[in-house]
Every structure is written in structure tokens, then in C-alpha cells.
Chain A
Amino acid sequence: MSSNNLYDFSKLTSSIHEWLLGMMSPNWVTFTELVLIGLLFLLFFALLGLFLVYLERKVCAIMQNRVGPNRVGKFGLFQTIADLIKLLIKELIPIRKSDAFLFNLAPFIVIIASLMAMAALPFAKGLQAIDFNIGVFYIMAVSSLGVVGILLAGWASNSKYSIIGAMRSGAQIVSYELSVGLSLMAIVVFSGSMQLSTIIESQANGWWIFKGHIPAFIAFVVFLIASTAEINRGPFDLAEAESELTAGFHTEYSGIKFAFFFLAEYINMFIVAALAATIFLGGWMPFHIGSWEGFNHIMDFIPPIVWFFLKTFFIIYLIMWFKWTFPRLRIDQLLTLEWKYLLPVSLVNIVFIAFLVLMGWHF
């Protein structure tokens, strides 16, 4: 894999580290790096959120035979920035008899949960804030923290719509966590590691969705469905179900606090898509076909970071496609889907995979 070294970011990061070491004490270096990475992520986070909102609006518009945003800037590219400015200057409405502290805290919990999950995502070789040896586990744990924020938002805003939405969201995320975990576990069993970089390295000769036979594909489908549910997106957007609960848990939020929820929803979508791309579609690994040396070589010249974003946005597109096609489920059907279909399927699937791995029947 000579080409991977071509675009290796670890050289760049380690040289920055060396340079900083030459200037200050190791403790200060750690601190400076933390601040730098934090700032970088915040910037990336905001830009990505804005872009995803724009993308969603464009994608759904074209699906619905519309043009979509087209007023602000060329092709409406600056529309979401204009929206952000509008949200920033909007009044923050205090709700009477609401629990002011929790009410204000909730959006931060939601957004911090999705920020933290992003830390472990490998964008390219060496371009990863922190490479845990339990990366999959960490992302799973952190991304499900967001539900605490949602429950708080629903409870603290002293609105009946909000509390119903929050309760739905709680039931939903707790249930779907299982399927998400089990479908990720399938690949952990295949690759024998929870470290995201190791999982990616193990896909150098083929992505898990291809070389994991049918079980990996089943795990992929289950992950896609369950993670769509976990991030509260249509057809599983019961927590905000606008035709039933107006806006669900964020009914009473306005201005920038609403923007936090909104942004977190899109970032969560990105995280889930990135995770799916990393685990099932080979992360930043280029697309290779068996022994087609020439083809593989051309693919190698596309930088890994491009591959990563291509795959991620493909998954994001799939999630958007779901949302703009399907009607919403009812809460009991949602739970039936999880406990009656997804969970048994993924349980059987993981046993099957364990058997495959034991027999050594995978590539």
C-alpha cells in the first residue's frame, strides 16, 4: 500500500508536534494541541452543519420537483448562512414555569454529545483526533448521551408537546441502541478489533460489506435503519413529528438554542454516516477490485480524505432519501420493528458471523 503513504497525514501531524515540542514544555504542547484541535473541530462542525442543511434542502427539493434554495448566492449556497444569521439575532424566548437551568443546559448537552463523537472519527490516515483502542465502543457510548439532552429539553420546557416528544425519543433511542450496537459488533467480530484504525486497515483488501458475505450486508442494512432511528430522522422522526407534535422536544426553543438542536441533528447524521462508511465501506480506503492492478492504481491516486467524504455523503444521501420518501411510523410500530424484526435478525446474524469467523470462511 504505497499510495497510502502518499497522503499520510501522520507525517504532517507529527512534524507539527515536533515543532511545538521545540518551543514549549510537553504539558503546554498537549494543551496547545487540545485547543487547536478543539477550534478546528468547532469550525469544521459549524461549516459541516451549514452545508448539510443546504444539501438536505437541495436534495429534497430536487426529489420533489422543486428548485430549492436559489436566492442567496449562486444556487442559494449562502442560504443557510443567512438562516444562521437570522437565528443568531432572534429573541430567546423565556418560557414561564420552565426549569430555566435545565432548559438552557439541554441544547449544550445535545451538541456536546455529537461533538465528542466526532473526536474518534478517522477522516484519513493519521487524520484522527484520538485513536482509541475501543473506538467503536466510545462512539456508541458518547452518541447516545444526546438523548439525555433531548429528555431534559422535553421535560424542562413545560410543554405537553415537548414532553411527549421527549418520551418518544427516549423509548426510541434506548431500543435502537441495541440494534446499532449489535450490527457494529458484527464487524468487530470480523475484524477482531474495536479500534477504528485497525478496522480500516483490515479492509485494505476489500470492504467488509463485500468480503463479509451476506451477514455483513444484513448488518449494514440493520445499521442503516437503526441509526436512522437513533438520530431521530424520518421515517423515525417521532420525537419531533411535526404533524402531530408541531416540533416535539424543541417546540419551545427559539433562536440559537433551536439552532443547536438543529445543528446537532445534522451532525449526528454525519457521524452515523461516517461510522457506517468507516466500518462497512472501508473508511478512507480506496475502492479496489481484486487483481485489476491498473484500476486499483488509479483509485489509489484519489486522496483518502476524498474517499472518506464520498462514502459518507453517499450514506447521508441514502438517509435523506429515506426521509423524503417514507411516511412516519407510529410509536408502537417503531418498537415492533426494533424488538420483533431488527433485534432478532441482528442477534442471529452475529451468531452466524461468529460461526463464519470460527471456521475461517471469510477473506
Chain B
Amino acid sequence: MMNFELMNSISKYFSDMFSGLLSLWAGMRVTGKYFISPRAIVTQQYPENRATLKMEERFKGEIIMPHDENNLHACTGCGICEMNCPNGSIEIITDRIPNAEGKPERVIDKHIYHLSMCTFCGLCVKTCPSDALAFGQKFEHAVFDRNNLTKVLNQPGSKIRKEIKK
């Protein structure tokens, strides 16, 4: 009886050791397999692949205001994006300019966008009634001066498109 237990414990000792070594070998096989297959390397070598690197079309890189070839945009300066922005990264400065009928009309002067505060939640793009805003794909935003992160989205001299209703 004693003998049997002793034998049992001895065989357990050795089987533990061998199953342990086998489990270690199983792990080493995985890493060893990747060591001899350099094609499995997944790292993107970023600055070198700049030419081929293309972001997804929906990528939220920054907020832009698309202008067409006549330097026309769609922003009416209504301020809905400013109201909807959760962290105040949009400021809108409007002007009142008399229109053809002589009534003063609200026109956007500056659409100021603080990239440094933006969290890319997308509410401004989503809620804009005239689809004046969009996401741009540019992602290299590093600058030396924080002030450079404050951008004016409407280009100088740009005007609102005629067909946009107020």
C-alpha cells in the first residue's frame, strides 16, 4: 500500500515535470514560428510610407469647411455648431452686411476652430443644417506653437453659396 502511494507520487513527480516541459515547448513553438516568418511583421514604418498611407474616407482628422472652386462655402453663420460643441472649440464671428434689398443680413466673418480643444465627437458636422462642415483626413497636427492650432475655417474672401437658404 505504502509502496503504491510512493510509486504514484514518484510517477506524478515525473509526469508533472514532463508535462511542464511540454507546455513550455508549446509556447516556444509559437514564438519560434514567428521568428522564422519575417513576413508576419505588422509594423508600419510610418514616415517612409507616407506616400502610400491613405486614411479612411471617414477618418476624423480635423474639422474642415469645404470650399468649391469659386471659393464658396455653405456656412450661414447660424451658430448651431458652436452651440452643440461640448467643449467650446468653435467660435463664430458674424457680420451684418446689407443684402440686395438693403436689409442687413448675417454673414460669417470668421469661423474659428480650436483644434487643441476638439475631441472629434462629430456633433458639429452632424448638426450643421447646411452641411458646411466636414471631417478632413489630415492627421499630422504637431506644431511648435499652440496658437497654430487655432484655425479659421472659412478661407479669406470666401462667400456663401447662393442656393443655401438662411
> Which A residues contact B (CB, under 8 angstroms)?
59, 62-67, 70, 321-322, 324-326, 341
Contact = CB atoms under 8 A, between A and B. Distances in A.
Contacts of B40: 65
Contact of A321 (B17, B31, B38, B41): B31
Contacts of A62: 34-35, 38, 41
Given A62-B38, A321-B32, A67 B43 contact: yes
A63 B41 CA distance: 9
Interface in B16-52: 17, 24, 27-28, 30-32, 34-35, 38, 40-43, 45
A341 B43 CA distance: 41
Given A59-B35, A341-B17, A65 B43 contact: yes
B42 A65 contact: yes
A64 B17 CA distance: 28
A172 B32 CA distance: 28
Contact of A325 (B17, B31, B42): B31
B45 A67 contact: yes
Contacts of A64: 34
9 contacts: A63-B32, A63-B34, A65-B43, A66-B42, A66-B43, A67-B41, A67-B43, A322-B28, A325-B24
Interface of B: 17, 24, 27-28, 30-32, 34-35, 38, 40-43, 45
A321 B28 CA distance: 7
Contacts of A322: 28
B119 to A, nearest CB: 31
B31 to A, nearest CB: 5
A264 to B, nearest CB: 26
A67 B28 CA distance: 20
A92 B31 CA distance: 38
A70 B45 contact: yes
B35 A63 contact: yes
A127 B43 CA distance: 43
A310 B9 CA distance: 42
Given A62-B34, A63-B32, A67-B43, 11 more contacts: A59-B35, A62-B38, A63-B31, A66-B42, A321-B28, A321-B35, A324-B31, A325-B28, A325-B30, A326-B27, A341-B17
B41 A66 contact: yes
Nearest to B26: A325
A65 B37 CA distance: 9
A66 B28 CA distance: 17
A179 to B, nearest CB: 14
A325 B17 CA distance: 18
B32 A65 contact: no
A225 to B, nearest CB: 10
B37 to A, nearest CB: 9
Given A70-B45, A341-B17, A65 B34 contact: yes
B90 to A, nearest CB: 39
Contacts of B31: 63, 321, 324-325
A12 to B, nearest CB: 38
A326 B45 CA distance: 28
A229 to B, nearest CB: 14
A282 B140 CA distance: 56
B16 to A, nearest CB: 9
Contacts of B32: 63, 321
A64 B30 CA distance: 10
A50 to B, nearest CB: 22
B41 A65 contact: yes
Pick from B28, B32, B38 the residue with the most CB of A within 10 Å: B28
A321 B30 CA distance: 11
A341 B13 CA distance: 9
B27 A325 contact: yes
Contacts of A326: 24, 27
